[in-house]
Amino acid sequence: MTVVNFNNITGINSITAESNTLNFYEVGGSKLDINADLTGNVTGNVTGNLTGNVTGGITTSQITVGDSFIKSGAVGLGTTDTAGRNAGVGTAIGTLICNSTSNQVQAYGPQGWVNVKTLTAEGITATGGITNEYTDPGPGNIYRAHIFNTSGTFTITDLGTGDYGTSVEYLVVAGGGGGGCSSGGGGGAGGLRTNLSGHPLEAASFPVSTSPGTYTVTIGAGGRGSNPSDGGSRGGAGNDSSFGPITSSGGAGGGSRSPAGAYNASYTPGGTGGSGGGHGADIPSSTPGSAGNTPPTSPPQGQPGGAASPFNPTGGSGGGGASGAGGTKPANDTKADGGAGIQVAIAGPAPLTTGVGDQSPGPGQYQFFAGGGAGGAYPASPNGGTGGVGGGGPGGHVSVGTDGMSGTGGGGGGGSNVPHAGGSGGSGIVIVRYQIGSSQASGTAKATGGAISFADGRAFHVFNNSGSFNYTDSTPSTLDIVVVAGGGGGGATGGGNGAGGGAGSYITGSLPAGPGFSAPITIGAGGAGALTAPVIASNGSPTTAAFPGHPVIANGGGGADSGSDAGANGAAGGSGGGGGGNSPGTSGGTGQNPQPVPASFTYYGNPGGDGSSATDGSAGGGGAGAAGNPGSSVAPRGYGGVGRKETWMPTIFGDAGYFSGGGAGIPAASGYPAEPGGLGGGGDSRSPTNPGGSTDAQVNTGGGAGGGGSGTTKRTGGSGIVIISYPT
């Protein structure tokens, strides 16, 4: 052994030894550690700690730090859990970790931690609609559901890995039928088809693939309710809904009573469709219920309407539902209920937390769809019939029938004795779900209520139907909020040229929220259209959000003028309804929200356009972003006012992220094209060469309905919505 005694060494030019190892010892025999700067190349193995800065390249086969490493062709992140991750105060942007708590590779950015990739078996990855991830409380399986309240596309981007297969489960519900008038029958529910486990399966599976990977989703609108001015015609049929090749048929319209009211003198039976419509009064008592499940599917997509009874002259029968036939009027002073729908817990576990389906029956009874509309009652009856669970509208009692609930396919309720109109059917819905290995949401929800989606580092709670928002996280946050009311109905008549409906109020603002923050949410329905001049279409209904200390009430959109020589102006509302055409032209309604808006919120609404004189056409309804365009013989003519979009609102919601667009009014002169509704769900007007071409506003946008003319069905405003967002 070589021992070197020294007091100071200023430099070493070269030291060699046969063993390639050189040990330095103090005189006393203790091994000596040397701290020094090494300049130049160091070749060989370094065993122990290397402390300090290394300038220049390091060539080695692997660098290992704890369970993290760098080597040729691979980088190992190592693992930490959520608690360890959160302890990294001041984390640098761009940091990558492997989180063992969530089995996710995560990255740190300006918005905080976001998920990059799930490390467990994933299952399918897809886009489209409003997504909601949840855990089934029974077996504990994790699912992702895509909820479509408006038409769109379901796109497969990855078939995934693991044991979850490449098939999806679906619910397809068509639009419900409109109710009959004047002691009319209830509208039949939209057809309902599903392959969800636990239901009668129409197919063992619905396989999907990445080629083509895109499946078209169409949401059927509800049929219009019958109006006495229609001459006692049947309520309108609902429109079909579809998911790829799976199509559910629209619900049938309810029958109407003879305008003259004479027993057996004239009657209109309920129609056939996804579910059958109920018969109106004055139909012979031997008449069976109108058929559902038309065209036929197996298992049946719907049930028949109620049959006529000896007491039929005093009220209509109920429309059929997905699981039950419509009710038959059992006695002279009683009522006929709508047929029951069915519970399909595909969007989330019951009780419902995702904001879809009929919530009327009470706790534990959520997620029912396709309930039939109830029959209209004779005034001597104590009340109108009860709509079938699943969104069916109640029948009128000395009143009009109630609309079916949007997003359920519920049938409209029949109107009571002359001269009350039937309610319109509810729009349909499509929901697609599949099992995944673990949540792939790019954030963590801090609250419950509504359908919860994640995008751009934010959580979004979307309320398409009434519910409650409850903040549950221990850390306070700032909520960004949009509250939209129901849009106004469109006008339609013969020579008067109906105008477009005004959009529902658009109110936006911010509020602080902490533990215990809770707010009941009520979503307003769209207003019904009008067919008779100078009748004004109905205003939309208010949407309310009872935030603690800051209640928000959004005013429904103004109904449109149907146009008349006598003249009648568009109605005032959140945004005003358009004025009708013909001589003299009528004024558009003003945009207003009479309820005070909290200091941290702003209201947006605009007036409807003015109709022009002579035959120059009708005006568009106002939108949240602009007034409705006036009627004119010079293009552009009568288009709806544009809606509004917040900077934090993704385009996957609403109409490309916009809400509260005004409906378009129709041009009168031949050869003019139809005008478009305002971006934000506004309905289009009809073309002079296509009298039936006007459209309802999109549901859950607050858009105003499009205007129509001779032969046009009345058009309904879009239902409202509430969206609450915060950073994850």
What tens digit of pLDDT does each residue of 299-346 get? 999 999 999 877 777 789 999 999 999 999 887 777 899 999 999 989
Exposed, middle or buried, 505 (CB in 10 Å: 0-12/13-18/19+)?
A: buried
- Reduced to 3 states (helix: H, G, I; strand: E, B; else coil), residue 228 is helix
Taking the C-alpha atoms of residue 205 and residue 544, their distance in angstroms, rounded to an integer, is: 41
In sequence order, what are the residues at sequence separation of 6 or more whose Cβ sits closer than 8 angstroms to the Cβ of residue 364?
350, 351
- Spatial CA neighbour of 283 closest among 305, 298, 302: 305
Tokens of 234: 């049947």
Low-confidence ranges of the chain (pLDDT < 50): 1-6, 10-20, 261-265, 353-354, 361-365, 583, 691, 711
Taking the C-alpha atoms of residue 187 and residue 178, their distance in angstroms, rounded to an integer, is: 5
Contact present, 184 and 401 (Cβ < 8 Å): yes
Q: How far does Cα 559 stand from its chain's mean position?
A: 23
- Reduced to 3 states (helix: H, G, I; strand: E, B; else coil), residue 377 is strand
Residues written for the chain:
728
| CB-facing half-sphere around the CA of 692: CA atoms within 13 A | 2
Task: Give the model confidence (pLDDT) of 373-404 as tens digits.
Answer: 999 987 777 778 899 999 999 999 888 888 88
Q: Does the pTM exceed 0.85?
A: no
Residue carrying structure tokens 């509004």:
644
Residue type at 65 in one-letter notation: V
Instruction: Give per-residue burial for 85-100: e unless 16+ CB within 10 Å, then b.
Output: beeeeeeeeeeebbbe
Taking the C-alpha atoms of residue 340 and residue 718, their distance in angstroms, rounded to an integer, is: 25
Residue 671, pLDDT score: 55
Based on C-alpha coordinates, what's the Rg of the chain? 32
- Beta-bridged to residue 170, according to DSSP, are 432
Taking the C-alpha atoms of residue 718 and residue 702, their distance in angstroms, rounded to an integer, is: 5
Taking the C-alpha atoms of residue 646 and residue 391, their distance in angstroms, rounded to an integer, is: 31
β-pairing, 518-522 with 543-547? antiparallel
Domain ranges of the chain: 90-117, 456-728
Give the number of other CB atoms < 10 A from CB of residue 336: 35
Residue 14, pLDDT score: 45
